[in-house]
Structures are given as C-alpha cells and as structure tokens.
Amino acid sequence: MDNVTIKDNCKIINSFIDNNCIVNADSLIENGTIIAENVNINEGSKLKGAVIECSEQDKNDKNLVKSTSESGTEWENESDGSGDDQFVGFDKVWSDSESCYSSDSSAQSSLPESPVPEDTNIFLQEVIDSLARGYEEKLKCDYLILEINSSRYAYNIQLHEVNFFVIRAMLSIPILVDSKSVLVTVKDILKFFRPILSNYIKTKSSIMDCLRAVEESCIKCDWLEGKAGQILHLLYETDVVDEDSLVEWYDDLKDNESPLINQTSLVKFFEWLQEASEESEESE
C-alpha cells in the first residue's frame, strides 16, 4: 500500500486497502472489505464485506457517506448534486454469525463442519455476481480474488470446489447468455480473468477441476452447446491446461460415457492435439 492515510481510532480487520486512500477517524472496516484506489472514507464509517471502487472521473473529489434503508446499511458518495457522479460499490454484507472473520473466534470454529448443497449454490451465484461486476466495471482481479475467498470461507467451500466453481462462474456470467459471438466473448473473459485463473488453476489436480467444470458447463449451458472443443483450445493456447491433463480427462470422459464424448468440436480438438503432438515429436 502506497500513500494510504489511516487516521485516529480506526479498526481494520481482514480487509484490503489499495493505494492513495484515506480512512478518516473512528472508522471500522472489517469482514473482507476491499477499498480500491483513490477512495476517501468519511469519519465514523462502518464497512463490512463491501467492495468500494471509485470510477476514473470521480477519483479526485468523492467521499464515502452512509445512508440507511429497510434492507440495511447502504453506501453512497457525496457529489456536487449533478446526478452524474456515482461510486461503483458492491455491497455484500454478512452477519457476525455468518462471517469467518470474527475477531473473537478462529476461522475453524466459526464455520459449519461441511457445506450443504444450498451453500455451494449460493457460493456459485456469489462468484458469478462478483465476476460479472468485475468484468463489466473492469475491476482489479486482486479485489475479485479477495471477494471470492471471503465467500469461500463464509460457506466453508473446499479448495477443489472453489477451482471448479470459479470456472463454472466464468462460463456462466450473464454477458455470455446474450452474446452473439460467444467464443469471442469467452476468449475476452479468459484474457481479462487470467490473474484469477493463475491464482486457482496451477496444479494438476486444479487443472482437472477446471476441465470437469468445462464439461459440466458445456452440458448445462445452452450458450455453450457444441463449443467444448473451442473452449478447450482457448484454455490450452493460454497455458491454463496442459496436454497430459487434457488426455487424461478425455480418457475419463470415455470411461464415464459423458454426453460430450461424441461432440464434433471436442473430437476435432483432440484430433488436432494428437497431430500437433506427433509433429512436435517428429521435429525433435
């Protein structure tokens, strides 16, 4: 953190503050709150599990202020009254009992022993929401990783499930549903979220989690119908997945008689992969 000013009597717990921020006196920031660059937090503010980002045009003159509503505490910005200024902020608030960041108990003791299906469904939806906002507003991937991890601990999601659901979420964000060029959009999504992919998909087991997520996505998502091979090609060309893992996963598809096994694009991709491998061996 560079050029961050934290004034008197502030309490910051398990949160992230980026460069050029000011946190004014008597503020409480906790539960995985993420404050992006150039944000000025007003005196006496209380933030729990929020992501606060200032748009480019607002960076020089915005302060965060608090308002209340029936649904709880909301966060707005002070503006000059023109109506055109707004903070890009995404609130996700947990109660103290739901949060794994309780200051008076360990992370282990504050979490349920194992997630139930409802928890994993909620986690997936939260990751979809986070990635959709991040992609639309071009948020830093570091912020999104922190938000995903906050949700992970809140619902006690295992790492292999996180790997799986992150890929499922990337292939399920709403912009894909209405896209007229799905593969072009998928390519751009994978490029934008490359830091997130690098954070979660970096071991053999995580690559297999990724491939299983691609399989499920291509089976369940209408907008990906017939496109499994092209999506694998994009992941392979960007070094997210490797040849050995792809071949092992493809063998598993055959053994399990996956609905994808005879998909034309998938068959063509693995034919191409084999030919490319043979050509590489011959050139050596």
56-73 confidence digits (pLDDT tens): 444 444 444 433 333 333
User: What is the C-alpha separation between 20 and 102, in angstroms, rounded?
Assistant: 28
Q: What pLDDT sits at residue 193?
A: 97
138 and 107 within one domain: no
Whether residues 105 and 128 share a domain: the answer is: no
Identify the top-confidence range among 22-26, 34-38, 61-65, 203-207. 203-207
Largest interatomic CA distance in the chain: 69
3-class secondary-structure state, position 3: coil
The answer to whether residues 174 and 281 belong to one domain is yes
Q: What is the pLDDT of residues 219-249, one digit of tens each?
A: 999 999 999 999 999 999 999 999 999 999 9
Q: Binning pLDDT at 50, 70 and 90, where does residue 53 land?
A: low
Query: Which position has the higher pLDDT, 9 or 98?
Result: 9
Same structural domain, 129 and 269: yes
Measuring CA to CA, how many Å separate 248 from each of 104, 206, 241, 245? 46, 13, 12, 5
Q: Are residues 224 and 253 in the same domain?
A: yes
- Do 43 and 105 lie in one domain? The reply is yes
| Boundary residue ending a domain (77, 94, 111) | 111
- Number of domains observed in the structure of the chain: 2
Say yes or no: 63 and 139 in one domain.
no
Span 71-95, mean pLDDT?
Answer: 34
Q: So what's the pLDDT on residue 136?
A: 95
The CATH number of the domain holding residue 188 is 1.25.40.180
Residue that finishes a domain, picked among 60, 81, 111: 111
List the strands of the sheet with 46-48, edge to edge: 11-12, 28-30, 46-48
pLDDT at 48: 79
pLDDT at 149: 93
pLDDT digits (tens, 9 = 90+) for 245-271: 999 999 999 999 999 999 999 999 999
Count CB atoms within 10 A of the CB of residue 176: 19
Considering the domain architecture, whether residues 41 and 129 belong to the same structural domain is answered as no
Helices 117-137 and 141-154: angle between axes, nearest 10 degrees: 170
> pTM of the predicted model, to two decimals?
0.63
Q: Does 234 lie in the same domain as 140?
A: yes
Q: 159-170 vs 117-137: helix axis angle to the nearest 10? A: 50
Residue at which a domain ends, from 90, 111, 132: 111
The reply to whether 133 and 263 lie within a common domain is yes
Are 194 and 97 found together in one domain? no
| Residue span of the structural domain in which 245 resides | 117-284
pLDDT for 228 equals 94
Domain co-membership, 213 together with 182: yes
Closest CA to 171 of 211, 202, 140, 205: 211
